[in-house]
């Protein structure tokens, strides 16, 4: 991944639909930006 442009350190992010696709990419981006990320999806893999 490239350099992040945002700082989410100390922030909490809850994502639904995070097992794959855009949700997975968003989760990775928020985590790279320092957020505490909670993922929710019907697919437990």
pTM, full prediction: 0.80
What's the rounded Cα separation, in Å, for the pair 23 and 5?
Answer: 19
Residues 6+ positions from 3 with CB-CB distance below 8 Å: none
What's the rounded Cα separation, in Å, for the pair 12 and 30?
Answer: 9
Residue with tokens 């909490």: 12
Q: What is the pLDDT of residues 1-20, one digit of tens each?
A: 566 689 999 999 999 998 89
Residue 43: which pLDDT band, with cuts at 50, 70 and 90?
confident
């Amino acid at each position: 991944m490239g350099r992040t442009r945002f700082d989410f350190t100390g922030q909490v992010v809850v994502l639904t639909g995070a097992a794959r696709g855009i949700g997975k990419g968003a989760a990775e981006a928020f985590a790279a930006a320092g957020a505490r990320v909670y993922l929710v999806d019907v697919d437990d893999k």
